[in-house]
A and B are shown apart, each in its own frame.
Chain A
């Protein structure tokens, strides 16, 4: 189902949704676009901070919470295709697969309706195409929105639930011209993203030809020299899902929390007896790239990097994944 909404009508639709669910939409806060409770319509700027991961795999949660009270449904508006690829291709397979599936993840995933948005204004740091993605959504969300102009939004339902959300919405049908406009908008975004990076990493990266450079200790020491081990790249990444299972003090009762962990933290590879398999930052830094660009591809069949560019924007040391990949190719 395709429907065209004016901005006023879209606001009405969002207001209606906010009565039956928690509604988060992108909100401009200073330089950044962040998800926040619905106030206004800001659908064009990419990326939105706090990826889909934050809503289906929160940074800290009780490990046994599945028997807790039902959570109210959440509608998340503004999710980009990079996050959807990461969730479908990696997170769902880890936490909602056959082996030891995670009841709370499944519940939160089911409770989260995804309203995706085509990338109208991709950032300079976006490079999804080279990771095997595209800057618009044709499947994986409940509804997809294409901003056609400042006042016209094309909504397409992509699931039964999406169809239900759009029913009785008093919008008009789409014209041929508007569908062609959508194609043009998508083409423009595609070309813009394509210009941001030109090395294909969609089938993993660390191949035989790169092994020599990738094993050079000095090379990684140089690259990681500015890294302050803050973990921002891991935490903003829509596919980094490493967690640590921590105990909470509670006398003889079991209470554990799952918290995001970062492979750049020194403790990540340490074990009892003061042994640490990767005590040096440069080794852990290298591991992060190998995990994203090689191990995850081998395991999931899609690149662990979905090209959202959040690690580039969030790094206080201005480390740019694209430059590191370029460097590996050139050396």
Chain B
């Protein structure tokens, strides 16, 4: 079909499926046309005839006709994606939005904090960092999960331990998450004045985790959040993702915490 419509997806064929947990699967997609994205930018994934949803690719951000995504089954369209098999066709459009500010982050002490499936939103950034250690020499990953048996990317833990400072904690063993992250922060040794953090967690948790970071000396200007909102168009036309004075699709989805602090968990 010949069209200039910004809503038209390109065909993406599923070439590999890997279960990560009982609810999360990774899909490797082969595209008609090569795309390149920066970590944190998002694509819209279409299940033909059924639905479309935004997500950030998990593969290394290089120009390619193959990308990977990891999807948790938690709604109509994501459930349908989970039922797909190798060889089935979906659609993608994008990448859209603004990802992590790589130039601003380079050379700094980076602390990535993920809770549960939040790790999916950080994965391509992690790949970027690992492929460019001269720009991003110092990295700490704190990964907290609520259920020991449902851990996304647990097979990568050995590799992560070898590559950077990696702490994991299960909140099953902790009375509260704040305590979990607090404990981890007290363990790590870094120059907090030169540190930037990324928090990928449910919005209800972000303020608590940010408070711990603030107490350690990282200001909210140096904390970055990948926001999740309902999106319909992905390109600033439908207004569904508006949060405060921002469109999450155009101005984000990655935001400086200080810019969106007041609207966390809500939209105004």
Chain A residues with CB under 8 Å of chain B are 63-67, 94-95, 99-104, 241-245, 247-256, 258, 261, 263, 268-274, 277-278, 286-287, 290-291, 295, 298
Contact = CB atoms under 8 A, between A and B. Distances in A.
Contacts of A242: 238-240
Given A94-B237, A100-B237, A269-B230, A247 B6 contact: no
Nearest to A104: B5
B106 interface: no
A265 to B, nearest CB: 11
Contacts of B205: none
A104 B7 CA distance: 11
- Which of A67, A101, A248, A251 has its CB near the most chain B CB atoms (within 10 A)? A67
5 tightest CB-CB pairs across the interface, nearest first? A272-B75, A249-B49, A271-B230, A273-B74, A63-B7
A249 to B, nearest CB: 4
B5 A245 contact: no
B249 to A, nearest CB: 10
Q: Is chain B's interface secondary structure helix, strand, loop, or mixed overall?
A: loop
Give the bracket for the number of chain B residues in contact with chain A.
35 or more
Interface in B216-237: 228-230, 232-233, 235-237
A313 B88 CA distance: 50
B105 interface: no
A255 B1 CA distance: 11
Contacts of A269: 230, 240, 267
Interface of B: 1-9, 46-53, 72, 74-75, 77-78, 89, 91, 228-230, 232-233, 235-240, 242, 245, 250, 265-268
A243 B49 contact: no
A176 B233 CA distance: 52
B63 to A, nearest CB: 21
Contacts of A241: 237, 239
Contacts of B46: 247, 254, 256
Nearest to B265: A277
B50 A247 contact: yes
B240 A295 contact: no
A58 to B, nearest CB: 15
B136 to A, nearest CB: 30
A243 B232 contact: yes
Given A247-B49, A269-B267, A64 B3 contact: yes
Contacts of B89: 252
Nearest to A268: B240
A139 to B, nearest CB: 26
A241 B2 CA distance: 26
Nearest to A298: B245
Contact of B5 (A64, A94, A248, A290): A64
Given A99-B250, A102-B5, 4 more contacts: A63-B7, A100-B6, A252-B48, A273-B72
B237 A102 contact: yes
Contacts of B239: 241-242, 263, 291
B53 A272 contact: yes
A203 B87 CA distance: 55
Contacts of B230: 268-271, 277
Contact of A247 (B51, B233, B236, B267): B51
B233 A251 contact: no
Contacts of B77: 272
Given A67-B1, A247-B52, A295-B242, A290 B268 contact: yes
A331 B233 CA distance: 38
Given A247-B46, A273-B74, A63 B8 contact: yes
Contact of B245 (A248, A261, A295): A295
A104 B8 CA distance: 13
Contact of A254 (B4, B9, B232): B9
Contacts of A290: 268
20 contacts: A64-B7, A66-B4, A67-B4, A95-B237, A99-B235, A100-B6, A242-B238, A243-B232, A243-B238, A245-B7, A245-B233, A247-B48, A247-B51, A261-B232, A271-B230, A272-B74, A273-B72, A278-B266, A291-B239, A295-B242
